[in-house]
Amino acid sequence: MALKSILVHVTNSDEAHARVDAALALALEHDAHITGLGVRSTSQIPGYAAARIPPEVFRDVDMRQAAELEAAHESFESAMTRGGWSERSGWLEGKGLPSDVVGLHARYADLTIIGQQPLSGSDNPEEAFADLLVMRSGRPVLVFPHIGAKKLIGQHVVVAWNASREAARAVGDAMPLLERSDLVEVLSIEPEGIGDLPGADIAQHLARHGIKADAKRSVANKIDAGDVLLNHVADSGADLVVMGAYGHSRVREMVLGGVTRHMLEHMTVPVLMSH
């Protein structure tokens, strides 16, 4: 099993350059096509307020966005040229809310790579973009942390396991990466109702795919489960976390589970999430 189509959200930022390099490394390893996607955001200003803003302000915003998008495009193409992957890559642009535009194109990719979006700034014109994309796209999303990551990820993977539908979906979606990893750990935190040996069943399933996985359990001792997971990642030297995303939509806001939210806010390595 291999990744054959990778989508990466590209902006004109250092963080985006790093995730493009990582996406290219994955494409080279899996012999995959890679698509860069730039998004020009639509205004979120209410109509009554927009009517009071001089037209030249909107023109200036459009010009800045166009320049940012062109710079992002040039950076993406330069990376593909350096990597000798120009003929196996492509560029797309869309206009609208980033979660809508990226979410649509994510449905035609094996993996979508985005950044751990800040609450404000040019790299995130839409609040909670990462949250929304993970919940809406229907495909696996690889979120890169602000602090960056190794160019080649997936050597040492930690699977956060609780035997839920979301966790099982994440493991299935991550199989192309797990099959190429050197070490896979299945970590269950405060496991309840999943047998005397938590993680053993999914480890056996992975073994049937030729993946050697070590099942481990951890006791939180009143520590937030997200922090327990992050501490284990730091102590073990893992370079990738695989986990299910928990939550549901409510009118126009996303309600995420505590561990999902914690990881999106505090991740120190890339996290592959599925819902």
pLDDT in tens, 87-117: 999 999 999 988 899 999 999 999 999 998 6
Residue that the structure tokens 């869309």 belong to: 94
Q: Which of 2-11, 22-31, 122-131, 166-175 has the lowest mean pLDDT?
A: 122-131
Select, from the ranges 33-37, 43-47, 125-129, the one with the highest average predicted confidence (pLDDT): 33-37
Residues of CATH 3.40.50.620 domain(s) within the chain?
A: 5-144, 156-269
Confidence at 250, pLDDT banded by 50, 70, 90: very low
Quick count: other Cβ atoms within 10 Å of Cβ 245?
29
Counting Cα atoms < 13 Å in the Cβ hemisphere of 221 gives 5
pLDDT single digits (tens) 141-154: 999 998 888 778 99
pLDDT of residue 231: 92
pLDDT of residue 146: 87
Is 142:272 a contact under the CB 8 Å cutoff?
yes
Is 149:252 a contact under the CB 8 Å cutoff?
no
Quick count: other Cβ atoms within 10 Å of Cβ 184?
26
Q: Which residues contact 139 (CB under 8 A, 6 or more apart)?
A: 106, 107, 109, 110, 111, 112, 173, 274
**Taking 50 as the threshold, does the pLDDT of residue 222 lie above it?**
yes
Looking at the domain covering 156-269, what would its CATH class be? alpha beta
CA–CA separation, 158 and 198 (whole Å):
14
Give me 155's structure tokens: 């050597």
DSSP3 helix / strand / coil % (the chain, rounded to 5) = 40, 25, 35
Is the four-CA dihedral 245, 248, 251, 253 of positive or negative sign?
negative
CA–CA separation, 231 and 260 (whole Å):
15
Task: Give how far the C-alpha of residue 75 lies from the chain's centroid of Cα atoms, to the nearest Å.
Answer: 20
Beta partners for 6? Answer: 34, 111
CA–CA separation, 246 and 135 (whole Å):
8
Is the four-CA dihedral 262, 263, 265, 266 of positive or negative sign?
positive
Would you say domain 5-144 falls under CATH 3.40.50.620?
yes
Give me 8's structure tokens: 């990466």
Average pLDDT, the chain: 85
Give me 255's structure tokens: 């309600």
Give me 231's structure tokens: 């501490």
Confidence at 200, pLDDT banded by 50, 70, 90: confident
Give me 205's structure tokens: 């399933």
DSSP 43: P
**Taking 70 as the threshold, does the pLDDT of residue 236 lie above it?**
yes
Is this prediction's pTM over 0.85? yes
Give me 91's structure tokens: 């560029």
Residue 36, φ and ψ in degrees, nearest 5: -90, 140
Share of the chain above pLDDT 70, in %: 82
